[in-house]
Amino acid sequence: MTTSAKSKISGIILVLTGAICWGIGGTVSQKLFQLDGIEVNWYVTVRLLIAGLLLLVIQSFTNGRFQIFAVWRNKKTAGQLIIFGLVGMLAVQYTYMASIKHGNSAVATLLQYLSPVMIMIYIALRKQSVLTRNDLACAVLALSGCFFLLTNGSLTQLSVSSLAVIWGLLSGVSAAFYTLYAVQLIKKFDSLVVVGWAMIIGGLGMSFIHPPWKMNFASITLETYGYLIFTILFGTMIAFWFYIASLKSLTPKETSLLGSAEPLAAVGTTVIWLHEPFGFYQWIGMACILGMMLVMQSNRSESPRINNK
């Protein structure tokens, strides 16, 4: 097996692991909102700050520890990092959690995964890539899957609130930006540095809206702390880290499409653990998402990488 093939397999493993952690983390977040009424603003602030600090601590024990502050020594990369932290990291986190709060983890996750379609269209409009038949098939399957999952086959009403749909669509836009914009940074710095600082920047930005210390900690039970620890370590730190790291060996389009394992994990845990009802047409929607992943895997041609402009 060639080095290139090994690198691609490693990237696939990374993005699948990150996506599954993210999907399960979304369901655990829904459980937190249901049982303890944790406020979205506080939750996002704490998740980002703690996970970001942990990533930078991990980086400090590696050979690339010098990069932790090197990213700030250049005005251009420092500016890119701030934009990525606020418009990418914070936007993805907040819109996703808001959609879960107003709907459920399964719907929020599936709406977010309209991002591959958005990325395909963006790349085609920028004339960086030509839409292939597989791309169009993936787009049709993704849109069909989301339609059935959101409406359960009804043309007159949604199966979730309009607020959940709006926040979910915004999450898809944020995820597309997050995937595309990260490439120029991880080409220069380790993914741990990029993701860690982006989380801290996003958490600090959110602190102006809801400081992390403004919380009735006496009301938090041991069970709640357990859920919080899980979502911070697995649903946030590992999920984002692995997702970004996969971009070193996969294109943004491939990473985003393979990340569709996230809705599978979210729907599975939502139905089995939280006992959310899932109708016949919603299962058809799930089949469409699975079909999209199979079509993507069948495309052996190497997609061009995003130009570093």
Q: Please indicate, yes or no, if residue 151 is contained in any of the structural domains.
A: no
Q: Please indicate, yes or no, if residue 289 is contained in any of the structural domains.
A: no
Residue 91, CB half-sphere, CA atoms under 13 Å: how many?
19
Q: Please indicate, yes or no, if residue 234 is contained in any of the structural domains.
A: yes
Task: Work out the mean pLDDT of the chain and round it to a whole number.
Answer: 84
Q: How far apart are CA 246 and CA 8, in angstroms?
A: 8
How many domains, the chain?
1
Q: Is 87 left (phi over 0), alpha (psi -120 to 50) or beta?
A: alpha
Work out the burial of residue 217: count CB atoms within 10 Å of its CB; fewer than 13 is exposed, 13-18 middle, 19 or more buried.
exposed
Question: What local confidence, expressed as pLDDT, does residue 292 receive?
Answer: 75
* Cα-only R_g, the chain: 19
Q: What percent of the chain has pLDDT over 90?
A: 34
Over residues 112-127, the pLDDT tens digits come to 877 777 887 787 777 7
- Max avg pLDDT among 48-57, 253-262, 273-282: 48-57
Q: Please indicate, yes or no, if residue 298 is contained in any of the structural domains.
A: no
More reliable by pLDDT, 207 or 137? 207
Q: Please indicate, yes or no, if residue 104 is contained in any of the structural domains.
A: yes
Over residues 83-98, the pLDDT tens digits come to 999 999 999 999 999 9
Q: Is 109 left (phi over 0), alpha (psi -120 to 50) or beta?
A: alpha
Q: 121-128: long-range contacts (C-beta < 8 A, 24 or more apart)?
A: 122/176, 122/180, 123/253, 123/306, 128/304, 128/306, 128/307
Question: What local confidence, expressed as pLDDT, does residue 245 receive?
Answer: 78
Q: Please indicate, yes or no, if residue 8 is contained in any of the structural domains.
A: no
Q: Once rounded to an integer, what is the mean pLDDT over residues 152-168?
A: 82
Question: What local confidence, expressed as pLDDT, does residue 115 receive?
Answer: 79
Question: What local confidence, expressed as pLDDT, does residue 196 receive?
Answer: 93
Q: Please indicate, yes or no, if residue 290 is contained in any of the structural domains.
A: no
Q: Please indicate, yes or no, if residue 1 is contained in any of the structural domains.
A: no
DSSP 253: H
Question: What local confidence, expressed as pLDDT, does residue 108 receive?
Answer: 87
Question: What local confidence, expressed as pLDDT, does residue 41 receive?
Answer: 94
Query: Crossing angle, helix 105-112 and helix 162-186, to 10 degrees?
Result: 50
Alpha helix ranges (H) inside the chain: 3-36, 40-60, 67-70, 75-83, 91-102, 105-112, 115-125, 133-151, 162-186, 191-207, 222-232, 239-246, 252-258, 261-272, 280-298
Over residues 214-249, the pLDDT tens digits come to 888 888 888 899 999 999 999 888 887 787 778 778
Question: What local confidence, expressed as pLDDT, does residue 153 receive?
Answer: 77
Question: What local confidence, expressed as pLDDT, does residue 304 receive?
Answer: 34
Identify the domain containing residue 83 by its residue range: 23-135+161-280
